[in-house]
Structure 1
Amino acid sequence: MWWSTLTAKVRTLITLAFLLVLLLGGVTWGWAQVTEPFPGKVDAPVCVDTSYQAGAELAVQDVTVSVLNASGREGLAARTMQQLEDAGFAAGKAGNAPSGTSLTDPAEIWVTDADSPAATLVRRRVGKVPVRDDVTSPVPGVTLVVGDAFGDVKADGPDALKVKDDAVVCSPPVG
C-alpha cells in the first residue's frame, strides 16, 4: 500500500538504488573470484598401500621401488631404477641417499617390514643384500640404497611369488 502512495519518480529512484546495490555486490563478488589464486596441483601418489592375503600372488609390477644413491657414482640411482623398470617393477623415485648414509654392503633394502614379500622380490633381483626395517626412507615403496660396489640388477629372477603371510605392499595406484 505504501508503495502506491509514492510518486513514480521516487519509486524509480528506489528501484534504481536497489539495482545499484545488487550490481555493486555482484561486481565485488566477481572481482574476489577472479583474483583468487588457482587451486594448487595435486600430485597423484606414486604408490598406495595394498593388502595381500596369504597365498595370493605378488608380481613385480605390483611392487613400487625407489632407488637412492649412496655412492660417489653419478647417475647410479637413475640407471638402477631403469634396470628395475625393465625387470617389470613399478617406478618410485630416484635420487641421492640422505646425507651421512654409508654402506658396508653393495646395497641395502629399506622397508617398514623386513619380512615383506615385496622386499623379497627386490632382493632376488639385486642379490643377497641386507634388508633393514630400522631406517626410515624418505621415498615411497621398497627403497633400494645402492653404494659404490653395486653392480647391476639381475635380468633373471622370479616375476612373482606367493605371499606366505598377510602383507601390505606399496603398489602403483590403479586407474
Structure 2
Amino acid sequence: MKRTTNLLATVATVGLFAGGGLLGWNLLTAESDTVAEPTCTERRVETGEALTPNLVQVNVLNASGRSGLANRVSINLQRYGFLEGGIENSESQIPVDHVAIFTDDPEDPMVQLVAQQFQVVPQVVAPDVPIDPEGVTVVVGPNYTDLNPEPPTEIAATRPLDVCVPLAAL
C-alpha cells in the first residue's frame, strides 16, 4: 500500500512538473496581444496662444566635466515648470562654454522659451549627435552660471505646435 502511494505521488508530481513546464513554455513563446499604452497625450498650441513651461520637455546634457551639473540644471528647470527630460553626459564635439541649445529649428517657440531661462544667452546650434525629438535639448558647459532669476513664464506661439505632454504631468 505504501509503495502504491509513493508511486502515485511520484507520477502526480512528474505530471504536475511536465504540465507546468509545458504551460510555461507556451506562455514564454506566445505572441503578445497587449498594445503599448501611450506615454503622452498630444496637445495643440495655436499661433498666438501662450506657450508655457508645463508644455515643454527639456533634456539636459553635461559638457562641463562637473559631476551632477545636468541633473541640477534639470531640477532647476522643473522648478520653473518645465517637464523633465533625459539627463546625460554630452558626446558632442561642439565646444560649449556656458550653455547651448541643440536644435535644427532655432525659430521653434519652445527653443525660444527655454533660451530665455538662462542668465547667459545660449548658443543655438545644429546638433552633431542624436538628440531626443521630444522637447528641447540643452547642453551645459564648464562656465555655466545659473538660470535667469526672473525669466518669462510664457511666450506667444509664433506658429501652431503639437506638443506631447507626458501622462504623468496631466
Q: Which residue of 1 aligns with 2:85?
A: 92
1:33 deviates by 2.4
1:118 deviates by 0.7
Unaligned runs of 5+ in 2: 1-18
Unaligned runs of 5+ in 1: 1-26
Q: Which residue of 1 aligns with 2:14?
A: none
1:138 deviates by 2.7
CA 1:144/1:99 → structure 2, altered by over 3 Å: closer, same or farther?
closer
Q: Which residue of 2 aligns with 1:165?
A: 159
Q: Which secondary structure state, in structure 1, belongs to the residue aligned with residue 88 of structure 2? A: strand
The aligned amino acid for 1:125 is Q
For the Cα contact (< 8 Å) 2:98–2:141, is it kept in 1? yes
Q: Which residue of 2 aligns with 1:124?
A: 116
Residues 103-133 of structure 1: CA deviation (Å, up to 9, x unaligned): 2x31111123110111111111113112224
Alignment of 1:140-159 (within 5 A): 140-159=134-153
Q: Which secondary structure state, in structure 1, belongs to the residue aligned with residue 26 of structure 2? A: helix
The Cα RMSD (Å) is 3.0
**Higher Rg:** 1
Aligned equivalents of 2:162 and 2:105: distance in 1? 9
TM-score, normalised on structure 2? 0.70
1:99 deviates by 5.0
Aligned equivalents of 2:94 and 2:31: distance in 1? 40
The aligned amino acid for 1:55 is G
> Please, which moves more after superposition, 126-135 or 92-101?
126-135
Aligned equivalents of 2:90 and 2:37: distance in 1? 22
Q: Which residue of 2 aligns with 1:57?
A: 50
For the Cα contact (< 8 Å) 1:67–1:81, is it kept in 2? yes
Aligned equivalents of 2:28 and 2:82: distance in 1? 44
CA 1:68/1:85 → structure 2, altered by over 3 Å: closer, same or farther?
same
CA 1:49/1:155 → structure 2, altered by over 3 Å: closer, same or farther?
farther
Q: Which secondary structure state, in structure 2, belongs to the residue aligned with residue 65 of structure 1? A: strand
The aligned amino acid for 2:131 is P
CA 1:56/1:136 → structure 2, altered by over 3 Å: closer, same or farther?
farther
For the Cα contact (< 8 Å) 1:110–1:136, is it kept in 2? no
1:156 deviates by 1.3
TM-score, normalised on structure 1? 0.69
The alignment of Structure 1 onto Structure 2 pairs a total of residues equal to 145
